[in-house]
Structure formats: C-alpha cells, structure tokens
Structure 1
Amino acid sequence: MKTLKQTLLAFTLAAVGAGAALAQDAGGYPNQPIRMVVPFAPGGGADLTARMVAEPLAKELGQSIIIENKPGGGATVGARIVADAKPDGYTVLYTTPGPQLTNPYLMKSLPYDPNKDLKPVSRIAIVPSVLVVNKTVGVKSVKELIEKAKKEPHSIRFASAGIGASSHLSGELFKVMTGAQIDHVPYRGTGPAMQDLVGGRVEMAIDSLTVYMPFIESGDLIPLGVATIKPLDALPGVPPIADDLPGFDSSPVNYLSVPGGTPDAIVQKLNTALNKVLSQPELKERMLKAGLLPEGNTAAEMQALVVSEQAKWKKVIEVSGAKID
C-alpha cells in the first residue's frame, strides 16, 4: 500500500509530466520551418492568397513558411498529404471548400477522412460571389428573377465553371431554395462560361465578383444580389441575395487546416498568429484589392462552420445528383 508521501510524489511527477507535455505541445513551437500545402497549381487564386498570407504569418511566428503546390484529384492530393502528415504543426493545409466541405458528397470515396484527418485552424478569407444576369433577361432584382423562373420553367439557364465548381453548387443552392426550374450549363472553366453569359447564350451565373466586375462596370451584366449575408462595399446598392431568399450564403471560404491529431495548444498558437496578421492594415488592403474579404475566427467557430457547411452542401449535392468521377 502506498504511503501518503509516495502518493504525493506520484501526483507531483504526473503534474510535472503533464506540464512538460503541454510545453512541448506549443511552448517551443515553431522551432523549424512550416510547410504550407496548397492543393492547387501555382498562379491560381488560392495559391496567390496563400502566398499573400504566408509572408506576414511567417514573420509573426518567427519561422519561414514554405509553400508546396500539390494539385490534382480535385484538391484531394494535397489534402491527403496533410492528412497523412505528422500532427506536429509543421505541415498545414491552405484550403478552399473542396477537400472537406463538398468533395465528401461529390466523390465516391476520399483517400482520407474529412472529419477525423483534418482539423480546422481558422478562416482566412471569404471570396465574395455575385448573382449576375445578362442585360437582356429583363429583371432588376432577385425577386423578379425568381418570379420569372417560376412563371416560365426552364427559361433561365445558369452557367458554371464545371461540375462541382463553386459556381455550379451556388446555382444548385439557388434552385433548391427557390424551387424554380432553372437549368445548369457546365463549361470547362470560368472563361467559356463568362463568354457565353456576356453573349446571351445563358442567362445567369453566381460566381466570384472579381470575375464579373468588369462586365458589371461595362453594363453587359446586371448584378442582382451578392452571395454574402452582408452587402459589399465594392457593389454599393446591390443587396444580399438573402434579402429575397433568407439564409442564402454561398461565397466560398478559404481557411487553414492541420492534421487531425495536432494538439489543441498548437492549433491555438496558429490561430492567434493568423488572426493577428489578418488584422494588419497592409495585408487587409492587399486582400481587398484582390477581391477577398479577410475574416478570421476561432478554431471552434471554424469547426462549427465546417459542420454547418457540410450539412448544407450535402443536401444540395444529393438533390442535384452532382458527381465527380
């Protein structure tokens, strides 16, 4: 039977060990370069934003951040690399909705568990989208568009950059929430979709504001609503789609994730550093000029957002029948 002295000694050693483990979890972190995996090719929007954020984040953490582009498989190649990495905070994923929010429902299987193998750290930015119609459609509001689509089934076609693209899923969300019979026309990329929309061969699209802004300014396309909950300074006078369709929110989010087993203390350290740099005026200005809304949150808030977004897109994808081989 242990004496009181032995029991107290054991308790003290356990407490010291736990404290040492916690210190090891985050106290010395980071003490080596961090690898930031971007699951897309160099030069794209996510890659450019990741590089924009990585520079000030590296300064804040006191360690270099090395960008590694790992495109392929609808972003699953890069996501798997991070999911399989050692959960020590030295491999992170700069991600968009695909790997964790939409691919689980678009693809038959994934090479990782989107909920167990990836752990959200923080939101980084919202990529604001806008609902635009060709000027010949003859509607001036989301309400009028919905009325026209219901009165004249299949008269409205929406363009997308391809099956599973945010422009596709946003259009499908609009269909589900309105109950209108509008038709999807997928293209191989944003360029061809934009060309046919401006040319009047399709009637509407919901896609990135930066893509369509030049045509809004020229008067070729009419912006009916933004896909964010709040109005955008870049489009004064254009209300959120949610004003006529309560709850509509489909602007893609960019965020940071780490391997699933990463200690909470390291996640918190990354979250704190990331939110600090997102508040820097210089970075905010650069991101706004690039058409992004810099907006961080807590790790718990990001996890809650992942859960709610998964539920939303699961329903939309199931109703639409969309699949990626």
Structure 2
Amino acid sequence: MRKTKETKAMCPQCGTKLTIAGGKVSATADDTPAKPTKLPGTAQERIEALSRAGVDVSHLFAMQGSGGGEYVVSNKGGKLSILADDDPLFRLITAQGDVYNRRLFRRWVMAQMFRMLAYKDYLCREPVGVTEMIHRMGYEYQWKMLLDELRAQMKMAGRDPENFADRNRWFNRKVVEQMAQDYIGLLNRYVDDQPVKKCEGVPYKRVGGENIFVHDLHERLFYPLNVAAPRIRYAKNAAQLYDAVKKFNDLRMKMKQDAPQCKAWVDAYKGTGAFYTMQNLIRFHGCTLVDERGRRLDKHKSLAYLADKAEEYCDGDGWRMLAMLKKMLDDNGIDVAKKMKEWRSKK
C-alpha cells in the first residue's frame, strides 16, 4: 500500500504542531518558554486563570480551610486532592503566562484556520479561500462537527461557564434550529427531484437507496423530522439540546458530499474559527489588535476588544470575525504561508 506523504510543522511560540497528510491536518502542542508571570493569589482566581486559557476546570473548585487559607481542590475521577503551588498546571501559569494544554481546543482550531487560509489550488496555485475550503469538507461534516461541539458544551455547561459562553456564542440553539429547517427544505427539494416510478400501477420514488410509495413519503420521511425539530427549539439546557440534536440526526437521511451546507453553520464556523485563532495569536504569538480608531492595543486590551467584537458579531455575522482575523494578520505582518514554512524549517 502506498504510504501517504506527511508534512510536519511546529510553532515555536505556542507549540502547535501541524501534521498535513492527504489533505487533512492534525495538531498537538508542546511546551515553550515565555515570560514569567505571577501566580494568582486566590484559589478562585487560579481556577479562572486556567479557564481563560482553555483548560477544563470542571473537576476543580475552591476551598477555604479552618485557618483561612484557600486551596484549589481537584475531584478528578472521584478522587479528592489539593493542588500544591508547584503543581504542573500552576507552574505553567508562572512560566509562560498562559496555560499550555496539549488538547486545547483553540490550538486545533488555529491549525485548521491556518491551513484553510494558506491552501492553494493544485493547478492555478491561487488561494482557494476559507469559504471554499469549508464547502470541500462536505455536507455531512457539519452534522458530525455539530454533535461533537454540543457534546463538549454539555460537559462544560455549569462547570466552566466562561468557556461554555465562548463556544455557545456561535454554536447554539438558534443556529441548530436553522440547520434543522435547512435540512428539511433540502430533503424536500431532493425528493421532488427524484423521478416517479410505478409498481403495479402504484407510484413510488427511490429515495436514499430505498423505494418508497409516494403516498408514504410524508409519514416515512418528513413527519418524524417535523416532530423532532421542535424539541430543539424547546431545549432548556445544553444536555437537552444535545439530546434533541442527536435524535434529529438519527432520523436524517445522509446527503451527498456536494450538497449545500447550511449558511448559519458556515457563518458560525467562520466566527468561532477566527475567534480562537486570534485569541491564540494574542496569547502566544505576541500579536495585538488595532481598534476602529487605529490605536494599537496591548495584550490585555486586545483580548478585551476581541471579546467585545465576538459579542457584536455572534448573531449571523461570524464572517466579520474572519475579516477581522485577516486584518489582524496584516496589521502584525504575518504571512500565513510563510509562517507555516518557517515552522516546518524548525521541526
């Protein structure tokens, strides 16, 4: 069997590793030195610092001792333990200011966004563009990605409210509702396009590899979906939303690779991808933002400005975050293709 050629690259600032093989990208991260910072004083502040950096803090909580001292306690795997000041997580805060996490969501997102921004057409060698790269992932990718995202949100809801809010900003009940209705409309058009055949004089259509009598189409295909869709609208929390989407997805007939993706999902994908990429560039790469008045902001003001813009552009304007990312790269003199080439040379 022919071995797939791999290209590997590593960012020397944040440790993001890019592995590109067969047109697919994966990413991990390694520790890198950075300017030291002071460990937050209170237990709650330490937990919040980890949360801001994207670490899962669902198993951590603050505890006060009888003598007034504060401790960060871990309840991972049902085992209680107090985290000492020299715990690896806290050492990472003091060593580099932001916490390294090999499975950090935003770093994987950054790898994806950089690949989409840099990818060029094989024949004309011109950039394909982020929108086209998203479409090339195929129709079914949006549902797989959505279920993975909602599952992650369900786990962090109530335990890690800051990260939950960031991730729920774009992939939320409203977007999911639009995806469900978009799918039902797409299915309607697909069924209408199928030719009518007859079996002993009774009309039927072949839909999704199955022969269905025309008079049974509504009951077999559309009625279950129309019952399942409202459950998404009335979901009251992350767990109910995930459950409703999973049940709707289980009823779906799979669509072709080139079927048009839901515009609401595409916009949300651009918004969250650009947001986490900019956040990562600010935290680990020394990049900063230029505000609407042309003022260069420092690291902390850049993160605050980014958060404000994320709130402003969260409802159908995720594409504006992508435009903001491109401007940020330009303002900081970053050529994505050259940056990836530089990482490859330092692997």
TM-score (norm: length of structure 2): 0.21
Which structure is higher in strand share?
Answer: 1
Structure with the greater alpha carbon radius of gyration: 2
Q: Which has the higher contact order (CA 8 A, sep 6+)?
A: 1
